[in-house]
């Protein structure tokens, strides 16, 4: 059993340094909730959803409350989730009122559709009992200040999780507010199955970084294809991240396999992240460069 989480690849900004302790605590909260669930036999898909919800609720990360704001000052939320053994997937893009976008993605996973956008996605979430909030709920002073200062390069903090459960089954989930100052309607890689998120029977992946480059490189599915062809996880991740670099993008990802292989590469200064494996203590990195 294992759970790995990330909170976005980006620079070691002064804000990240200032909020290092709170970020560390949020990552540890997500890991310890995931560990409890795994130890009680929960399925990987439920565990990644629970971990991502905790990260969404922490306003220091760019997902749920505290999300990066669009150029018009509104929050536009996206998320995706995928279950490995049957490749069931759910994703939502352009949400405005769902408190935990990953829960909306989970609701879509239970339907015949894979990706739902805009208001109908918020409505589906509400119908499934997922809490709704006015768009103002997501907008923090901090996110407003970043929009004012046009700190697009620093607006990282997308969150994600990958997991192996007690049965060796995999799941992945990713949630984001996108990029500070993005035009309303812009959607990155995070809600796109195969780009920002992937899980099959061999590997689970959650990405963060320059969404356009991750989409064009088809990162998450590319890693799965390389693994399917016999590549080691580390080699597959390096190839995929290499493609992102060739396209001029930066970022990172977390990936895991049932045999407990985990990879967490990034090409930015930092990628806050955490890892728990059965039999070991949880570990968290925030500003560390490796
Ligand atoms: N990948 C996200 C996007 O492009 C942003 C991020 O991970 O920081 O929307």
286 pLDDT above the threshold of 90: yes
**The ligand 1 atom nearest the CA atom of 157:** 8
Question: To test ligand 1's pocket by mutation, which of 80, 182, 189 has the most ligand atoms within 8 angstroms of CB?
Answer: 189
Tell me the whole-structure pTM to 2 decimals.
0.97
CA pair distance 127, 116, nearest whole angstrom: 14
> How confident is the model at residue 19, as a pLDDT?
84
CB 147 within 8 A of CB 69: yes
**The ligand 1 atom nearest the CA atom of 177:** 9
pLDDT tens per residue, range 51-62: 999 999 999 999
CB 219 within 8 A of CB 175: no
**Stretch 167-196: mean pLDDT, rounded?**
97
**111 assigned to active site:** no
Task: Output the CA 195–ligand 1 centroid distance in Å.
Answer: 11
Structure confidence at residue 15 as a pLDDT band (50, 70, 90):
confident
pLDDT tens per residue, range 142-164: 899 889 887 655 557 899 999 99
> Is the Cβ atom of 176 under 6 angstroms away from ligand 1?
yes
CA pair distance 61, 237, nearest whole angstrom: 24
CA pair distance 7, 156, nearest whole angstrom: 8
> Is the Cβ atom of 94 under 6 angstroms away from ligand 1?
no
Long-range CB pairs of 106-112 (<8 Å, 24+ gap) are 106/45, 106/49, 106/81, 109/45, 109/81, 109/82, 109/83
Structure confidence at residue 47 as a pLDDT band (50, 70, 90):
very high
**The ligand 1 atom nearest the CA atom of 156:** 8
CA pair distance 37, 50, nearest whole angstrom: 9
Mean pLDDT of the chain: 95
Question: To test ligand 1's pocket by mutation, which of 159, 218, 251 has the most ligand atoms within 8 angstroms of CB?
Answer: 251
Indicate the SS3 state at residue 123: helix
Q: Which of 97, 158, 174, 180 is catalytic?
A: 158
């Amino acid at each position: 059993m294992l759970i790995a989480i990330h909170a976005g690849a980006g620079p070691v900004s002064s804000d990240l340094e200032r909020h290092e302790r709170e970020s560390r605590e949020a990552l540890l909260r997500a890991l310890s909730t995931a560990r409890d669930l795994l130890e009680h036999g929960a399925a990987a898909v439920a565990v990644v959803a629970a971990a991502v919800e905790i990260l969404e609720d922490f306003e220091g990360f760019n997902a749920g409350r505290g999300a990066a704001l669009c150029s018009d000052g509104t929050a536009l939320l996206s998320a995706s989730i995928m279950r490995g053994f049957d490749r069931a997937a759910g994703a939502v893009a352009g949400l405005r009122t769902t408190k935990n976008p990953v829960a909306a993605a989970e609701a879509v996973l239970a339907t015949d559709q894979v990706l739902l956008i805009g208001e109908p996605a918020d409505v589906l979430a509400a119908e499934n009992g997922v809490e709704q909030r006015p768009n103002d709920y997501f907008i923090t002073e901090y996110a407003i200040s970043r929009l004012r200062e046009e700190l697009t390069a620093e607006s990282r903090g997308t969150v994600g999780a990958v997991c192996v459960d007690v049965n060796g089954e995999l799941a992945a989930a990713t949630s984001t507010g996108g990029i500070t100052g993005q035009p309303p309607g812009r959607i990155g890689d995070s809600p796109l199955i195969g780009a920002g998120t992937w899980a099959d029977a061999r590997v689970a992946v959650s990405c963060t970084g320059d969404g356009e480059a991750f989409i064009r490189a088809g990162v998450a599915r590319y890693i799965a294809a390389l693994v399917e062809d016999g590549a080691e996880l580390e080699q597959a991740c390096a190839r995929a991240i290499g493609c992102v670099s060739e396209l001029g993008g930066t970022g990172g990802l977390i990936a895991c396999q049932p045999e407990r292989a985990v990879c967490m590469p990034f090409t930015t200064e930092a990628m806050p992240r955490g890892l728990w494996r059965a039999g070991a203590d949880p570990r968290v990195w925030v500003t560390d460069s490796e």
